[in-house]
Structure formats: C-alpha cells, structure tokens
Amino acid sequence: MEKNDILIIYGNRNLKEMTISLLEKAQLDALIGDKSKTIGLKPNLINSKAASFGSTTHPEIVEGCVQYLFDRGFKNVTIMEGSWIGGNTGEAFRVCGMKAVADKFGIKTIDTKKEKYSSHNCGGININICDCAANVDFMINMPVLKGHCQTDVTCALKNNKGVIPDIEKRRFHTMGLHKPIAHLNMRAKNDFILVDAICGDLDFEEGGNPVEMARIMAFRDPVLCDSYACDLIGYDVNEVEYIMLAQKLGIGSTDVSKANITELNEPVGISKTFVSTRKIDRLSKPVNAQDACSACYASLMYAMQRIDDRYGVNHVKEEICIGQAFKGKGGRLGVGQCTCGFDKFVKGCPPKAKDILDFLEKEAVR
C-alpha cells in the first residue's frame, strides 16, 4: 500500500472479517516487516460509551486487527489510549470492549493518562508525548470518523491527542487547538490508519446521534485521510484549520484528487457521501468560548441541544462563558471551574451536562 492509496470496504456486519480483508488487501504485514517489532493500536475511546453510540471505535475492528497480526506472527501488540479530560480510560477499556479483546489475546491495555511522558520538538513547538506511544516501533491509528463541536471534523490527526497527558490536552486548548494538533503529528506516529466509519456522530464528538456510514477505510497518510473524511461528510478541507496546517508542515497531502481509491466491494444500499447538520454553529451562538477543553465544551453543547429541543436556542437570552481564559475573571454566567469568579457558574472540571442543563434552564432561558 502506497502513501496515496485509500482502501475502503463497505458493510455494517461481520466487522472483524471486514477488517481482516482490508488489512490483507493493504498487505499490512509487509509494511510492518520484522515480526519482533512493538505494535501500538490507538483506538478512539473518548468516553465510556458503546461504539453504537457514535463516539468510540468498534471492538470488532480492533479484534480483527489483532487477529490479523497474530495470524502472521506479530505478537508484541498493545492497545493504548487516554480518554478525554475527566474521563476514566480504564472504564472505557471495559465498556467499549477493548479489555475483552486484550484478555482474549493476552495483550496489554495502556492508559496513557497514567504513563510517563517526554517533551518533543514538534516543528518548533515542544509537546509532551507519552513514552509508550513515542517509543513503539509501529503505530496503527484507529480513529472514528465523526464531527467535533470545536474543530468540525475529527479523524486521524486529532485522534493522536490520546497519546499526550491531560496537562498537555489542557494546554492545547490555550494554544487554539488547531495549531498544536497539526504540530503534534510531526512526532506522533501514524504508520498505518484504520478508520472506523461505521456509525460516527457527525456533529458531536461524544456521540449520541450516530449516522450509518457502514465502511472501514485504510490510509497511510493522515492528512489525506482527514481530507477524504471532509469530502465524505460535506466539509471543505479549507474549513478545518489543523488539516491545512499539517499539510504546510509536510505531514501529508490534502489532494484527494490524486489519491488511488480502491473499493473492495460495492456499497449496496449505502450512500457514498453524507452531510453534517452543522447544528453546532446554531447551538453555540449564545456561547463565549475561550480556550475551552473539549469535554467541558461538549457537555455544554449537549445541554444546549436539550435546550433547543425544549425551548429553542433563541430563548437563551444570556451570554454563557466557558474556558480557561476566564480563570480569575468575573462575569455573569459561566460553565466549569474556570469561571468560578463569575456571579453564577456550574461547578465541575468538566461539569456534567445535566447540571449545565439545569443551570441554563434556571438562569439563561427566557
């Protein structure tokens, strides 16, 4: 498989077998080479929700990948991930089926939140990357193709936020998120990318509104991967800043027109493309977000969705402030511990969506 190749297999059943067929076509074993190499699998386990919810990688895809590797003599395999800030990775490993896969094959799961990390020069920006991820010989990035309330799209490039410690995740948001994501991928490994595009939520990173896309895709170029993802769900790649920055840094190419696309089967009864509702643009109008962490902002957007369902977002008549930039500052209404100096605020780091909803109904809805 070459850098400009895209492999696609369609279906929503027998995901393990689909995965093995895709990896056979990609000749992944030849790409890895030496059987003694350490291999990392990096799924998306942002929260402790089943894959059907639209936020996490299907365990059958991970199992298919491990089975393929084991059948070809690659035994030094580890599943590694760190859930978003406030999330419990150990619980996510269990709920999302990764622990069961690991136990079946006798391999380890690593919670990157608990791992040592080292600073790496990533194109002029020093970024802390967990040693377990930085030192692995071959990394298989296994993102879910889905929407994101702050970056519009998340796939291969952003999935690597799971290989940095929580303290670095917080700093990413103070840096504007897009720039550090791009620079991270100068050192974070993307040796092979296996995309779970079975039923990602095209609006919310934390899931809840899964869209049946019914396909698994393979790439070697993370920039090409994310550019193709934009095409698939109706975004212009120029709208997603970190993808364009990654291309400028030489990480990969956004030119999907030059890609060699191979479909292993026909997408019977499945649309080739999809369109995000872009509801976040409307839900966020009353929100003043500055350096907000993803988990906190996602909880607010989930609460705003409930407000919109019940009253209409136009009935939120107060500005809602959220983010690390509000630390030590005052204001009227805030969400999260960073706004503890406000007249009224929702406690938590991150706060629960239910608490935000109750707060908004009481203080902001008119």
Q: Is residue 359 part of a domain?
A: yes
CA angle 190, 196, 198 (to 5 degrees): 165
Kindly state whether residue 272 falls inside one of the protein's structural domains: no
Kindly report the CATH number assigned to the domain that includes residue 205: 3.40.50.11440
48 in any annotated domain: yes
**Domain match, 302 and 336 both:** yes
Q: Does 353 share its domain with 238? A: no
| 175-201: pLDDT as tens digits | 999 999 999 999 999 999 999 999 999
What is 188-228 written as a DSSP string?
S--SEEEEEESS-BSS-TT-SSB----EEEEES-HHHHHHH
Q: Residue 275: is its pLDDT beyond 80?
A: no
Residue range 92-132, pLDDT digits in tens: 999 999 999 999 999 999 999 999 999 999 999 999 999 99
Q: Are residues 253 and 337 in the same domain?
A: no
| Within-domain flag for 274 | no
Does 315 lie in the same domain as 254? no
| Angle at 327 (CA atoms; ends 322, 329), nearest 5 degrees | 95
Phi and psi, residue 72, nearest 5°: -110, 15
- Statement: residue 331 has pLDDT above 90: yes
Last residue of a domain, one of 232, 263, 294: 263
**Residues spanned by the domain of 236:** 5-263
Give pLDDT, residue 325. Answer: 94
Last residue within a domain, chosen from 213, 236, 263: 263
What is the tally of structural domains in the chain? 2
Q: Residue 316's closest CA among 337, 340, 287?
A: 287
Residue 268 lies in a domain: no
Query: Is residue 269 in some structural domain?
Result: no
Are residues 323 and 237 located together in one domain of the fold? no
Q: Is the domain of 161 the same as that of 304? A: no
Tell me, yes or no, whether 47 lies in a domain: yes
What one-character-per-residue DSSP string does 39-52 give?
A: EEEEE--SSS--GG
273 within domain boundaries: no
In terms of domains, do 76 and 146 share one?
yes
Whole-prediction pTM: 0.91
